[in-house]
Chain A
Amino acid sequence: MVLELKNVAKSYKGKRILDNISFEVKEGEIVSIFGKSGAGKSTLLRCINGLETIDKGSIKINGEYLYRQNGIYVEVAKGESLKKIRQSIGLVFQNFNLFSNLTVLENIILAPINVYNLDRELAVKKAELLLDRLKILDKRDFYPYELSGGQRQRVAIARACILSPKIICFDEPTSAVDDEVKKSIAEIIMEFKSEKIAVLIVSHDKEFSHSISDRIINIEGGKIIS
């Protein structure tokens, strides 16, 4: 299992946002979390990526606990363990959040060089390979503001998967893109699958989720309903 959630719960200001959520994602599996806006699916994705804490339950990524229920407390991963988790999971934000002061290449190689001590030359080579596959190698030295939405998304994808994660998360990947781009995202996701990389998609685009996913998890009011 690359992702395991067990009895995850979270409240905010007295309101229950996530309620006893458990599910698993296998290697190379494409899973969509589907629900209306406000159903809690975005919060769930943020918890899985360690951007928000949980009140109860456990989240395990590639065998390491990110959150672990221990009595009444939830332990949070730290240090080397957290680093390993970060390497195993990638996130493509809804609005990409590319670093606006860095070029495309710098965006991609920043973490490999500074966090994982990858040799710069090697990191550049890997990034260029990736950019080539995503057909944006010619944008290597551009700044984010010079790119179209679709191009930015590809850079965000490259940044998320440069360290060969086991699972990649997409937050609303088809919001505000045309059918052309939608099709190419689907192609990229299928390519991940062929490389045994799992994909977790949060979306309210029913057509897209259904066409691409192996499995769909429906969420309503913070609970899994099917």
Chain B
Amino acid sequence: MNYIVNLLLSMKGGMFVTIYIFFITLVFSIILGIITAMIRISNIKIIRVVVSFYIFIMRGTPLLLQIIFIFFGLPMIGVTFERYTAVFIAFILNYTAYFTEIFRAGIQSIDKGQFEAAKVLGLSKFQSYRYIILPQMFKNILPALANEVITLVKDTSLVYVVGIADVLREGKIAVNRDATLLPFLVVAMFYAGFIYVLSDLFKKVERRFEYYR
């Protein structure tokens, strides 16, 4: 028991790192995802093509390789990032692509009549999105969003490749140091607990969106 308490204390830094990377990535990629989704359904062909290509690259290659490329590859052409900066760039670029696709599908699932009614009433594009389209979109995409967010929690462990000590790496260190598998069990419980809290949160949000159909 004493050992587990010590273990938890020694791993709290890693837990913070995991939560930190998760939170920053989530906030930025959701905001950017909404913007790129709106760009992606725009009428300008060249922009649509560029965004589609970006999404293809981000979804078509593993996130791990993207981190390696940004951190180790870009210095070859003179672009150097700090460890955390590189990780955030890779994570945000990658997750923005996934969120963009979710949001695009969400926006396109909304009846065209809602856009037209907003337009006829004189609402600007921004106002239509703010008051009508985005609230309706979020209701539609919540299940897909929840899936992606939970995947993000587990993807944070990929930061090991640049030596950042997230909770999984700290667990690995403890496993090697103390020659027992127990730290991995603690790590697993941490992830499960974190995801449980998130799922619960999503359930609550879904319930809050139930006021209309």
A contact residues vs B (CB 8 Å cutoff): 49-51, 82-83, 86-87, 90-91, 93, 95, 97-102, 110-111, 114-116, 143-145, 159
Q: Evaluate contact between B120 and A50: CB separation under 8 angstroms.
A: yes
CB contact under 8 A between A114 and B123, given known A101-B212, A143-B212, A143-B213: yes
19 A-B residue contacts at CB 8 Å?
A: A51-B119, A51-B120, A87-B122, A91-B120, A97-B111, A97-B116, A97-B117, A99-B118, A100-B136, A101-B136, A101-B139, A101-B212, A110-B121, A111-B121, A115-B121, A115-B124, A143-B212, A143-B213, A159-B121
Complexed CA–CA distance, A83 and B127 (Å): 14
A183 CB, min distance to chain B CBs, angstroms = 26
Q: B131 an interface residue at 8 Å Cβ cutoff?
A: yes
B137 to chain A: closest residue by CB: A101
Q: B114 an interface residue at 8 Å Cβ cutoff?
A: yes
The 9 closest A-B pairs by CB, nearest first: A97-B113, A86-B122, A111-B121, A97-B117, A143-B212, A115-B122, A145-B213, A101-B135, A91-B120
B131 to chain A: closest residue by CB: A110
Q: B3 an interface residue at 8 Å Cβ cutoff?
A: no
Number of A-B contacts (CB under 8 A): 62
Residues of B within 8 A of A111 (CB): 121-123
Interface residues on B, range: 20 to 34
B contact residues vs A (CB 8 Å cutoff): 111, 113-114, 116-124, 127, 131-132, 135-136, 139, 211-213
Name B116's contact: one of A51, A90, A100 (CB within 8 Å).
Answer: A51
Q: Evaluate contact between A100 and B212: CB separation under 8 angstroms.
A: yes
Complexed CA–CA distance, A119 and B114 (Å): 24
Q: Evaluate contact between A93 and B127: CB separation under 8 angstroms.
A: no
Q: Evaluate contact between A86 and B120: CB separation under 8 angstroms.
A: yes
Residues of A within 8 A of B123 (CB): 110-111, 114-115
Complexed CA–CA distance, A102 and B139 (Å): 13
B137 CB, min distance to chain A CBs, angstroms = 10
Residues of B within 8 A of A159 (CB): 121
Residues of A within 8 A of B132 (CB): 99, 101-102
Residues of A within 8 A of B118 (CB): 99
Complexed CA–CA distance, A82 and B120 (Å): 10
A110 CB, min distance to chain B CBs, angstroms = 6
Residues of A within 8 A of B213 (CB): 100, 143, 145
Complexed CA–CA distance, A75 and B213 (Å): 40
Q: Evaluate contact between B111 and A115: CB separation under 8 angstroms.
A: no
